[in-house]
Amino acid sequence: EAGVTQSPTHLIKTRGQQVTLRCSPISGHTSVYWYQQALGLGLQFLLWYDEGEERNRGNFPPRFSGRQFPNYSSELNVNALELEDSALYLCASSLRGQGDEKLFFGSGTQLSVL
């Protein structure tokens, strides 16, 4: 069974550009979560999608947005990139989105903003 897959694995962008990150959850999982892991800052919750709808959002500006498609895959979009957006972006999925479930993580997308 395939795990959570993320693409691309690495990205280099410049300030002001826009970026789209992609995530495919484990087959049968309806919930997708996005986290930002910046150096020395641990995991910061970005977004939670379940059944195609945004269920919760972390303390990030509106230029961070996303969506979930009917096949439960998800995109994270970041507009007007800033240097501090450089981080590992992790996607996770869970079966039912109940919050107390095990999260399955992808290997992440490493974003570098120059």
Partner 1 sequence: AQSVTQLDSHVSVSEGTPVLLRCNYSSSYSPSLFWYVQHPNKGLQLLLKYTSAATLVKGINGFEAEFKKSETSFHLTKPSAHMSDAAEYFCVVSANTGGFKTIFGAGTRLFVKA
- Between 64 and 89, CB nearer to partner 1: 89
Binding mask 72-111 for partner 1 (x = CB under 8 A): ------------------x-x----xxxx-xx-xxxx---
On whether the CB atoms of residues 53 and 72 are closer than 8 A, the answer is no
CA–CA dist 47, 49 (Å, integer): 7
Other Cβ atoms closer than 10 A to 72: 21
Kindly state the smallest distance separating residue 32's Cβ from partner 1, in Å.
13
Complex with partner 1: residue 13 or 55, whichever CB lies closer: 55
By CB under 8 A, tell whether 21 contacts partner 1: no
Distance CA 114, CA 18 (A): 13
Sign of CA dihedral 13, 84, 58, 31: positive
Instruction: Report the interface residues with partner 1, using CB under 8 A.
Output: 4, 33, 35, 41-43, 45, 55-56, 90, 92, 97-100, 102-103, 105-108
